[in-house]
Amino acid sequence: MGKFSLFTLTVTSVSITAGFILLYYKMYDVKRKKNKWRQVGKLTEIVIYPLKAGTGIFIDEAYCIDRGLVEKCNKKFIFGDRYFIAYDEQTGMRISCKNAPFITKICIVPMNDTSVELSAPAFQKFHLELPDISKNKVNCMIYPDIPSETIDCGDEVAIWLSNVLFKKNKGVRLGFFVRDKIKIREDSAGMLKDYKRLYPNIKKQDLGAYSFFASYLLINQSSLDDLNTQLPCDEEKVTSLNFRSNLTITGLKAYEEDNLKLVKIGEKVILKHIKPCTRCLVTTLNPKTAQFSRSSEPLKTLKRYRLLEDIEKNKAENWSPVFGQYFGLYEGGCIKIGDPIYALDY
């Protein structure tokens, strides 16, 4: 090869490399390219579910970390979304709304830096001193085939939970998540491995404490309003609690949240899209009464018009309709009710 050809090849290689670098910064340096952000609405609800499948708590402000929403006020321990999990003593499998609907009436609130209080209608409240994080580490199961570490909270609260849920003195245990002490769930085995093939944005670092697929679940108020107009006239209107979401936003048209890839809340927090949230029987559970809808609403109505377009994904999701979107953390920080919501335009 002559000198001229070699020089031409070198210049071409440098140009291609520079082109890729430029493309990278154009697409991914979202913090620097602030002029690309477009305000699309505002944040109207922040909800944490301290107990997975338990009662949702509306809060005015929160801190966003990789493991989901946490309350700002806590110092010695972090009290956050899905940080507690009830699980079967024998199998380790999580207790869900499907097999124990009354779990949605169990509320956990912080009392001080070392304890929480559990409550449920018609039951005496239970004061729980948080367990020693150096002991009692066990495995539970969020998915049937992937163990999840947790800190077991002891026998006394296990008896209380078993009585509340099944009128028994044993059978249910309570686990507690501790940031940096609990091993991150793997995303390369079992059900998550299958889902990653269809949704490559699923990453183990974005799975949250004991969430299903990601740390944050966002819904659009306009979509909720539209769904309520399509329900049968004699059906009770549904709320965000039917969908157990963390964040509700306004300003977008109905179902425009499907197109969000990167979302900024306020001036700092940035969330990245993971996958659509497909819906199951839990949406038909009335959050006020803990009873399932006999008419299977709103799930029945959603199935009419909110199925995924991709056939393979529909099969994997058991032909379940979409309502809301899962997000992971890109940039953490504080958020509060009323914060502007921005979308990134590419």
- Determine the pLDDT at residue 77: 61
Please state the domain extents for the chain: 36-344
Does residue 15 surpass a pLDDT of 90? no
**What are the DSSP calls for 224-283, one per residue?**
HHHHHHHS-TTSPPP-GGGTT-SEEEESSPTTGGGG-SEEEETTTEEEEEEEEEE--GGG
- Determine the pLDDT at residue 113: 82
- Determine the pLDDT at residue 22: 44
- Determine the pLDDT at residue 202: 96
The token duo for 148 is: 């999840």
| Rounded mean pLDDT, 125-136 | 88
Mean pLDDT of the chain: 89
Residue 74 near residue 111, CB atoms below 8 Å: no
Q: Which residue has the higher pLDDT, 113 or 41?
A: 41
Question: Which residues pair with residue 143 across a beta bridge?
Answer: 146
Report the share of the chain in percent with pLDDT over 70.
Answer: 88
| Rounded mean pLDDT, 292-311 | 96
- What is the Cα–Cα distance from 260 to 217, expressed in whole angstroms? 13
Does residue 332 surpass a pLDDT of 60? yes
Among the ranges given (119-123, 128-132, 163-167, 201-205), the one the predictor scored with the smallest mean pLDDT: 128-132
pLDDT in tens, 218-231: 999 999 999 999 99
- Determine the pLDDT at residue 79: 87
Helix (H) or strand (E) holding 22: helix 3-28
Does residue 55 surpass a pLDDT of 80? yes
pLDDT in tens, 107-129: 999 998 889 999 999 999 999 99
- Determine the pLDDT at residue 71: 86
Q: How many residues does the chain have?
A: 346
Q: Which residue has the higher pLDDT, 7 or 345?
A: 345
| Rounded mean pLDDT, 25-47 | 75
pLDDT in tens, 234-286: 999 999 999 999 999 999 999 999 999 999 999 999 999 999 999 999 999 99
- What is the Cα–Cα distance from 44 to 34, expressed in whole angstroms? 23
pLDDT band at 40 (very low <50, low <70, confident <90, very high): very high
pLDDT in tens, 77-109: 678 999 999 999 999 999 999 999 999 999 999
- Determine the pLDDT at residue 248: 98
The arrangement of secondary structure in 36-344, i.e. its CATH architecture, is: Beta Barrel (2.40)
